[in-house]
Structure 1
């Protein structure tokens, strides 16, 4: 997590990191911080670990890799970079209290050394805010995020973490403003979209139709800053999150289009405009080819247009999706009747009545089909020459 500010929050990946603290927010009771691990262990790796019995660990046991501690961290000197890197490592492994201590040591070290690096300090404050957020210390999270934003205005992660902390304290107006500012920087942050939608409902219930007038002013992010965010290299996690959002949005668009087409088809059937309705249902099936109800609806149009073979195929498709669909059996019986296959029609109608003995239309149609079947048998017998 070398430069923690470069990755947008809420992205997936391996284990959690301070930059992923915004992906989920759970408040905890208690919230007391644990003591940081001794420098003998993870921090410098210079001391050999002791076994519970007091002796040295087996020499064959592989050494713990601590090379990450010496990775560069912006403009921080090596001893402060180690604090930051260890904080990142601890946060990734869920040790939020210990990570907080390391970030605090790095922040204090910058003050003592007179280091003036707004970008690095912004990252440290933002990362420590992520620890506070994970620990349920929302007020402290807000303080650190505000410090980070004083150093680097429009820091996306600091804004998002502060918004989540405000929301946890039910300070919905301030949360709304920060979430909307985040979306000016990156419209792909799904957590911000979801939260704006959720908080809008709360504010409408709380403040009524005039809720917007009670909001603090939403700052306008300069276009140059927006462009800087867009031009930054996208990490694999961010690309994955954006791709998932694109898939979700495409699914929503398809669902809306499908619902509209189906309703238009239904309205056209009521007006007896069967050819037009058939086209609407056919378009529906290009969007959702496994929607059983559309097959049975399209069958109505095909029957009315005397396209019995196609109607039968649509009923077959519906029954593959739903083997106990009464409408599909009934309408396939009508298709068989149109094709003068009275035996198959009779079989389908009996299937309907077996599923539901109270379908009056099936009883009446079965009487008609039985009569037609009897007549066709008689005609067949009359035209069969005697040997």
Structure 2
């Protein structure tokens, strides 16, 4: 029962049918409140619906199906590994996971989209993640990679700069900013980034090759 629910919820979310997606994620939580994907999806949809409809967002939801007790695998005291956190009333799941957990989930969704080559969608996931946790360095560098693929070079520079503010020794941030600056014809800035990168990792062959390439434009 869970897999079809989660798949349909994800499909509704992709189609921006957020009320239907929320109902399916919430139903999945009722079936098994220990499933993190259901919890994260429900919290994600609730945030979208509150943003769109305000405090009256629940009034616009489709009818919520009832889940028989026999189908609620994790809620009864006999369920293996059951804890007080999973023995909750039907609406208590709305408290959901923390912002950092939601941010991590969105970041992982973005990573999966990158693996599929869907960089524009990945940018949206990373942006949503950073709204919840703007101190995660790798989310900035991952989004910078997507911006590079989409030829959005100023945005890539901005993300790498943000990453370096959090981690001044981040090699990926130096390298990706150097790539973006090269495309923006900021060759001096690109050389500086690569030199800083190679100070920290002198044997980095990708950095060495790019530095040789960029230095040709500065002569």
Query: If the TM-score is normalised by the length of the shorter chain, which range does it land in?
Result: 0.5 to 0.7
Q: Deviation at 1:282?
A: 0.3
1:340 corresponds in structure 2 to 185
Aligned to 1:292: 137
Q: Matches of 1:303 and 1:320 in 2, distance apart?
A: 20
Q: 2:197 aligned to 349, 352, 356, which one?
A: 352
* TM-score calculated relative to the size of structure 1: 0.32
SS at match of 2:98: helix
SS at match of 2:131: helix
Q: Cα distance, 1:254 vs. partner?
A: 2.0
Q: 1:297-312 maps to which residues of 2 (within 5 A)? A: 297-312=142-157
Structure 2 unaligned segments of length 5 or more: list them: 1-76, 80-94
Q: How is 1:1-387 mapped onto 2 (pairs within 5 angstroms)? A: 212=78, 252-374=97-219
Rounded Cα–Cα distance in structure 2 between residues aligned with 1:373 and 1:253: 49
Larger radius of gyration: 1
Runs of 4 or more above 6 Å deviation: none
Deviations 1:286-319 (A, max 9, x none): 0101111111110001111111111111111111
TM-fit CA distance, 1:259: 2.0
Partner SS, residue 117 of structure 2: coil
Structure 1 regions of 5+ residues with no counterpart?
A: 1-210, 214-248, 375-387
TM-score (norm 2): 0.55
Residue 255 of structure 1: how far off its partner (Å): 2.8
Query: How many matched pairs?
Result: 128
Deviation digits for residues 162-218 of structure 1 (CA, Å, limit 9, x no counterpart): xxxxxxxxxxxxxxxxxxxxxxxxxxxxxxxxxxxxxxxxxxxxxxxxx949xxxxx
- Partner SS, residue 207 of structure 2: helix
**How far apart are residue 272 of structure 1 and its match?**
1.3
Distance 1:295 1:263 in 2: 13
SS of aligned partner of 2:134? coil
- Measure, in 1, the Cα distance between the counterparts of 2:128 and 2:208: 34
Q: Distance in 1 between matches of 2:207 and 2:108?
A: 27
Q: Distance in 2 between matches of 1:260 and 1:299?
A: 19
- Structure 1 CA distance for aligned equivalents of residues 136 and 100 of structure 2: 12
